Amino acid sequence: MQISLGPLLYFWPKEKVFEFYRQVAQSNIPVVYLGEAVCTRRRELKFKDYLELATMLKSAGKQVYLSTLALLETPSEYTELKRQIETAGLKIEANDLAAVHVAKEMNIPFVCGPTINNYNLASLLKMHQWGMTRFVVPVELSKDWLQKVMDAHEGPLPFEVEVFGHGHAPLALSARCFTARHKGIAKDKCEFVCIKYPKGLLAQTQEDEPLLRLNGIQTQAAACTDLSSEITVMESMGISHFRLSPSSMASIEIAEKLMSGQLIPTNSNTCDGYWFGEAGFNQCQT
């Protein structure tokens, strides 16, 4: 099983992003997803900057994928999506069906990202027919569900399977920006306020229990998904990739430990409920 580094979902200053990927280039992480997948208003990095990072990472021997936006809202965003896929010269992670359509039309192989709702074997085989080479399991689905899908196919699946194994699970996207709303400003005049929250803005219940992370237009789980204890099980199921979603520079060290079979740091707010068919914020394994 390979460890993959998912796209950076937070809004960081440009120099911090470059420093992060310089360290990734020096690491043993084999698979890297790169690109703005959350909000089109985040423009610290231009598309050419992502291409520069991709060139650096490929020179370091990484498999690099361009991650696309998960929520397209305007015709101009779709036009820009087509331009990027056409000119990047990279394999892509399609995070919504518009990107799937473009990849299919351009005959570009793609990874189907976790924000596309693929819940059955028939839809997955159709995606594979259109060019899907790898399927990232939606975060809310369980191990038992995945096993049933894999068992439903006669013989090995014709595409790879990746599981979101570590990080704050992306749960939902909205046309509204909750970070801007929290600060009392309009989305169109957001002042890029989410750059002040490098791991998102924690939202708690009335009982002061951490519940969600507000990351611009994206809502994440407050607890950190940790399925590292399930890697052996995943390998026996035939899962090919374990995704780590980066949230800090320390994510690189965590990925290195996962690859070498070492225990990774834990904290009091981890979860694995979805994988075991329970509420997502539950911690089933101790």
Residues 6+ apart with CB under 8 A from 119: 138, 141, 145
| 224 in a known ligand binding site | no
Placement of tokens 């990072």 in the chain: 53
Q: Mark 91-124 as b/e (b = at least 16 C-beta within 10 Å).
A: bbbbbbebbbebbbeeebebbbbbbbebeeeeeb
Cα 148 from chain centre? 23
| 271 in a known ligand binding site | no
Residue ranges of alpha helices (H) inside 60-207 are 75-88, 97-106, 121-130, 143-152, 178-182
Look at residue 141 and give its three-state secondary structure: coil
Q: How far is Cα 183 from Cα 194, in angstroms, rounded to an integer?
A: 10
Q: Measuring CA to CA, which residue among 28, 4, 10 is closest to residue 199?
A: 10
Is the torsion defined by CA of 234, 213, 57, 127 positive or negative?
A: positive
| 284 in a known ligand binding site | no
The one-letter code for the residue type at 168 is H
Question: Which residue ranges are tagged as binding site?
Answer: 39, 177, 190, 194
Question: Which residue ranges are tagged as binding site for [4Fe-4S] cluster?
Answer: 39, 177, 190, 194
